[in-house]
Amino acid sequence: MRPRVRAILELVRVPNLLTAVADILAGFLYMGGSLSHVREAMLLAFASVSLYGSGVALNDVCDVEHDRDSRPQRPIPSGRITTTYATRFIASLLLLGVVLAFAVSRLSGVLAICIVAAVILYNAVLKATPLAPLMMGLCRVFNLALGMSFVGSLTLRTANTIPLMSMGLYVASVTFFARTESGSSKPWRLVCGAMGIGLSVAILASLQWVLADPHSSFLVGVILLLLFVGSICRRAVLSGLPQVVQPCVGKLVVGIIVLDGCIAWAGRGLLCTIIVATCLIPTMALMRRFRVS
């Protein structure tokens, strides 16, 4: 693999890109997407990948001075990619994501613009503030909503807001959990993050009593998700050491795909969960070669 290509893949956190695709698939399937809407699903998936990739790349641009000391191996501080090149690349991805989203519907385009605004606000203004986890969660809420938006309209009824609330709280909690992953994490921070993650799963489980025709077996998936994230959080809380917490954060990020699978399961059944879960295969393979955070 060419050094420049590898540097770009590292810059956009290529293993994480499939979690963005999983959001789109989950929202798409939950709202009744079918083979007749494949074009819309593909456009939204590519839009999401572009927007997500630009967001994590912008994170590296904004953190370049800090990374020179703490993570000098990253593409920009290591000199493999210049800040100017990265900035132009980010702008291109942001524009591409918005254009692809508008090609689906006006609502999709507006949500893409919301993602752009949230990404810039997070990285340029709020990242060092207590509001950062909430903004990161909001980015994912918009991304899941982007998958739902192929229908052209999105009413905020309870059955639609619960998956969005669950996703937002999960990602906000993981972000809070990971705030000090490069150093020794404070136990209270890890415990609070773990509690938020657990609550997000509980919120998702409430779909059993909200949907008119729920696939009750989806609670099996919710229980498996809870056991998965619970074991990861327990390991991190008991240790608190960066060499333990950092891999745990990576697994919690992968847990987004499992959460997406549960959302699809609640709305459409096990087969749709399997479709979303296919994102796990390339994600796990890429994690062996590229970093997640």
Q: What are the pLDDT digits (tens) for 95-129? A: 999 999 999 999 999 999 999 999 999 998 998 89
Give, in order, the Cα–Cα distances in Å from 208 to each of 47, 114, 133, 218: 31, 30, 28, 8
Residue 224 resides in a domain: yes
Residue 205 resides in a domain: yes
pLDDT number for residue 182:
56
Residue 293 resides in a domain: no
Q: What is the mean pLDDT of the chain?
A: 91
Start-to-end CA span in the chain (Å) = 21
Do the beta carbons of residue 25 and residue 264 sit within 8 Å? yes
Residue 16 resides in a domain: yes
pLDDT number for residue 256:
96
Residue 94 resides in a domain: yes
Residue 292 resides in a domain: no
Of 282, 272, 280, which Cα lies nearest the Cα of 25? Answer: 272
pLDDT number for residue 180:
65
Give, in order, the Cα–Cα distances in Å from 135 to each of 18, 78, 122: 20, 29, 6
User: Sorting pLDDT into bands at 50, 70 and 90, what band is 185?
Assistant: low
Host domain of residue 134: 3-287
User: Sorting pLDDT into bands at 50, 70 and 90, what band is 181?
Assistant: low
pLDDT exceeds 60 at position 222 = yes
For residue range 243-282, what is the model confidence (pLDDT) as tens digits? 888 889 989 999 999 999 999 999 899 999 999 999 999 9
Do the beta carbons of residue 207 and residue 159 sit within 8 Å? yes
Q: Which two tokens stand for residue 59?
A: 């994170």
Q: What is the pTM of this model?
A: 0.93
Q: Which amino acid is at 290?
A: F
Residue 22 resides in a domain: yes
The total number of structural domains in the chain stands at 1
Most confident of 21-25, 79-83, 154-158, 249-253: 21-25
Q: Which of residues 281 and 156 earns the better pLDDT score?
A: 281
